[in-house]
Chain A
Amino acid sequence: MTQVQLNSVRKQFGDFVAIENLDLYISSGELVALLGPSGCGKTTTLRMISGLERPSDGAILFDGRDVSEQSVQDRNVGMVFQRYALFPHMTVEKNVAFGPSVRGESRTEIARRLDEILEVVQLTPFRDRFPAQLSGGQMQRVAVARTLITKPSVLMMDEPLANLDTKLRLEMRRFIRDLQKRFGITTIFVTHDQIEAMELADRVAVIFDGRLAQFDTPERLYRCPRSLDVADFMGATNIYPGKLLSRSRVETALGEIDCPHQNDRSVGDSVHVLLRAEALDMNTGPSASEPPGLRGRIKTRDFFGASVMYRVVCNDREIDVTENARRMLEVGDDVWLQIAPEHVWLLSR
């Protein structure tokens, strides 16, 4: 159990600043994702925590102890690379035993830990196979086992689910979560896929251009992004400029919308209004008791099996609405959209 802290860490390659003043506090036993588009510096951050890169400035602390100058070998961290980096010339058993073996553990100790860890990752029947004879999921489990056998204080993973197909992703997601809870190991992983980050992490650090944009739980990140960039990256599509008519009502090109009471904004402020596609209610007629809602017409329909996404044109603006697929509306149908004020999120403009 190790708590990891980055104190105004900066990394520069020549003239290129990869990471600018990054502060991050990761509690012991937490599962954290570093999320951002490619080239944003998230992998560099991971490499600095592992010790493969030295920060140009700032400090990295494990349990309050500065490890910035410690070599990779002495830092006792674990890393699972995106393409697993299994040694192709070694069997599963040799791969997994590599760590303890180069650290000079005794044969009996290595054998004992090997049996134990292979059992945990359910690879005992495959111990004599070579990596090329394994499936993607099995290779990843070998990579995880090879790392866990060294009892690292921090486990790092580079795009852990990226190379797996949909079915395996679900399985590996559970596997990683279970393992992480079981060993209580502080885990940090890097991804450019917001779904992967939300699926796995306790908290997600969103990084843009070497700067930390937001560090929050997946739910907060999704519902309450702090900037337009974060909202956009988390997959928000319905973002409209607007102006506050009162502290709980905003005017947009779609029409007037009720929003949560804004304590720190004043009437007349310019804002961006974020409407989650799945939070919108779509009625086939005007609501009798309530205000009638925003009137629109369905322009396109995309069917995803469990859910359906409609694109509705409202006052010449397009708005996406996602529903679960219990009913199907037709393209060209007239609809009335409503959204509960608590699902409306405002961003400063």
Chain B
Amino acid sequence: MQRGNQRGNEALSARLSPFQKIYLLLVAGFIVGPFLPVIVQSLAFRWAWPELLPGTWWLEQRETSMIPLAWDYVLSPYSRVWEATVNTVFIGSVVTVICLAICLPVARLLARDSFAGKSAFEFFLSLPLIVPEAAIGIALLMIFIRLGLAGGYVGIIVAHLIPTIPYMVRMLAAVYQGLGREFEEQAMILGARPSQILWRVTLPMLLPGVVAGALFTFLVSTNIFLLTFFLGQGQVITLPTLLFSKISGGNLDTTAAAITLIVTLPGIILLIISERFIKEEAFGKGFGS
């Protein structure tokens, strides 16, 4: 079957028209494009405005510093990059777990049952994505200052749940819709108790959706700047807030470029892991029949 697929792919690529190729390249350009100047910048020694490429590369100045200057700074404790990375990953993980715990039961309800006001609920689910983040942030800040949650992890985590829950619910509801009731019913008839059904049947079958949803939530959380900035009040720094403090001068200097690359790392690592995981664990072993 696999060989057949491969042959199909070759045949497909041979059949691509120039227009199709141009569109593919265009999208690829949009995906990879933003990374190029950042990578170049992080390896530059001096890159002044009118020059298309850095006037002085780090390589030409390697007697002055062993590694690129930007990376030297980023890896040093003064940059607080390590602290920000730990904070970012910690907040992202907690947000993801809480988000899953809230959204799994809701998604199940939305996918399987009908209740009064269900369509209104589904309609308003996206509301937090429509309201500008700044408005949410300010409103939350005023409440959280009074509650004593501003400037701490709890406040940031609660704030991060606001834009992530709508995505997670939608993603999980879609997987739940694909998971018919009969699998759980079959497990019940075979004698499985509710907890056995959850761990042995429901969760493994939802896994691709859960992984995708968790990945997405984590990435959104690690990229939120405004809410973190408002509610962290500078006391909790994450990679996006650290980066913003570097580029707020209106100038992408080499350290900012290096931090940008660091910011993308957790996401890239997660993407690779989940891609392999989803493929091998689920799709490779017989989902999607």
Contacts and interface: CB of A to CB of B under 8 A. Distances in A.
A79 interface: yes
Contact of B189 (A52, A89, A131, A133): A52
Contact of A85 (B186, B192, B196, B285): B186
A88 interface: yes
Interface string A77-89: 1110101010111
B287 A99 contact: no
B200 interface: yes
A131 B182 contact: no
Contacts of A133: 286
B189 A79 contact: yes
Contacts of B281: 89
Taking residues whose C-beta sits less than 8 angstroms from the other chain, chain B's interface range is 20 to 34
B3 to A, nearest CB: 15
A85 B190 CA distance: 12
Nearest to B190: A99
B191 A73 contact: yes
A51 B191 CA distance: 12
A146 interface: yes
Contact of A79 (B186, B196, B282, B289): B186
A131 B289 contact: yes
Contact of B183 (A50, A85, A99, A102): A85
Interface in B139-195: 180, 182-183, 185-193
A73 B184 CA distance: 12
Given A83-B182, A102-B187, A102-B200, A88 B289 contact: yes
B201 interface: yes
A85 B197 CA distance: 14
A77 B189 contact: yes
Contacts of A102: 187, 190-193, 196, 200
Contacts of A81: 182, 185-186
Given A81-B186, A102-B187, A130 B285 contact: yes
B204 A89 contact: yes
Given A87-B183, A89-B205, A50 B285 contact: no
Nearest to A130: B286
A85 B180 contact: yes
Interface in A172-209: none
Contacts of B190: 98-99, 102, 146-147, 150
A103 B185 CA distance: 16
Nearest to A73: B191
A72 interface: yes
A72 B189 contact: yes
Contacts of A79: 185-186, 189
Interface centre among B191, B196, B285, B289 (most CB of A within 10 A): B191
Nearest to B204: A89
Interface string A121-138: 000000000111100000
A143 to B, nearest CB: 8
Interface of A: 50-52, 72-73, 76-79, 81, 83, 85, 87-89, 98-99, 102-103, 130-133, 146-147, 150
Interface of B: 180, 182-183, 185-193, 196, 200-201, 204-205, 207, 281-282, 285-289
10 contacts: A51-B189, A52-B185, A72-B189, A85-B186, A88-B286, A89-B207, A89-B286, A102-B196, A102-B200, A132-B287
